[in-house]
Amino acid sequence: MASRIESLIGLVVVLSIALVVPSAVADGSKVQATVSFGQWQTDPPFDRFTNPNDRTRNQHALIPFEVEIKAGGAVNFIISGFHEPTIYDAGTQPGDINTSQVVTALGFPDLINDSTNRIFRGVDPRTAPTAQDRVESVTFHKPGTYLVICAVHPHFEPTPGTFVMFGFVKVTGKDK
Ligand SMILES: [Cu+2]
């Protein structure tokens, strides 16, 4: 009797989890990916102990350039330095971004503010030093190839029409 009740409780727990967690997440493979979003350099040596945010020693790249996850999974953006991860809906290309739309603040580079097809924008890196080095984990529910840019204007488009700091998240369908 006791084992029957236990198995019934187990069944209820499993069903409850299935209702809450997308199947891709429960599955385990390709449910998440990590993207290094801006990197500190080591050659020549760089000592952040004494100079925590020397922007001339920061590399402006997404590593890897493209990651693949299943629908329902997440991408963890590990952000080092002054950057602003911003994600556009599937199919958007770098040239589609209107880089003339910006938010400005004295003493900071312009931040691109094109909201067309934008599905995610990270925390404002100008708000506090702690808003710079951080992790932002973002979920993707529909298959497609999503554009991820750094909205710091001189990082994304250092010269007009040349795009540098961006990458893609490829989201595949759930396994049947
Ligand atoms: Cu950046």
Model pLDDT for residues 44-95, shown as the tens digit of each residue: 999 999 988 898 999 999 999 999 999 999 999 999 999 999 999 999 999 9
Q: Is residue 4 part of a domain?
A: no
Q: Give the position of tokens 């556009």.
A: 88
Query: What residues are paired with 46 via a beta bridge?
Result: none
Asked if residue 75 lies in contact with residue 169, where contact means CB atoms within 8 angstroms, the answer is yes
Give the distance (Å) from ligand 1 centre to CA of residue 154.
8
Mean pLDDT, residues 17-31: 66
Q: Is residue 40 part of a domain?
A: yes
Mean pLDDT, residues 166-175: 90
Q: The domain spanning residue 45 has which CATH number?
A: 2.60.40.420
Q: Is the pLDDT of residue 1 over 70?
A: no
Amino acid, res. 40 = W
Q: Is residue 136 part of a domain?
A: yes
Q: Is residue 73 part of a domain?
A: yes
Helix intervals (H) in the chain: 2-20, 23-27, 153-156
Q: Is the pLDDT of residue 176 over 80?
A: no
Q: Which phi and psi (to 5°) does residue 166 adopt?
A: -155, 170
Q: Where are the beta strands (DSSP E) in 11-124?
A: 32-40, 58-63, 66-70, 74-79, 85-88, 102-103, 111-112, 118-121
Mean pLDDT, residues 124-134: 85
Q: Is residue 5 part of a domain?
A: no
Q: Is residue 14 part of a domain?
A: no
Give the distance (Å) from ligand 1 centre to CA of residue 58.
9
What's the pLDDT at 6?
Answer: 59
Spatial distance between the Cα atoms of 171 and 69, rounded to a whole number of angstroms: 5
Residue 43 to residues 37, 47, 56, 107, Cα–Cα distance (Å): 19, 11, 12, 28
Q: Is residue 6 part of a domain?
A: no
Closest among 55, 68, 62 to 37, alpha carbons compared:
62
Q: Let me know how many helices (H) and strands (E) the chain has, helices first.
A: 3, 11
Per the structure, the count of domains in the chain is 1
Give the distance (Å) from ligand 1 centre to CA of residue 23.
33
Asked if residue 141 lies in contact with residue 22, where contact means CB atoms within 8 angstroms, the answer is yes
Give the distance (Å) from ligand 1 centre to CA of residue 78.
12
Which residues neighbour ligand 1 (ion) by CB within 5 Å? 83, 150, 152, 155, 165
Give the distance (Å) from ligand 1 centre to CA of residue 150.
5
pLDDT tens-place string over residues 108-118: 999 999 999 99
Give the predicted TM-score (pTM) of the model.
0.84
Q: Is residue 100 part of a domain?
A: yes
Domain coverage including residue 122? 30-172
Radius of gyration, CA atoms only, the chain: 20
3-state helix, strand, coil in the chain (%, to 5): 20, 35, 45
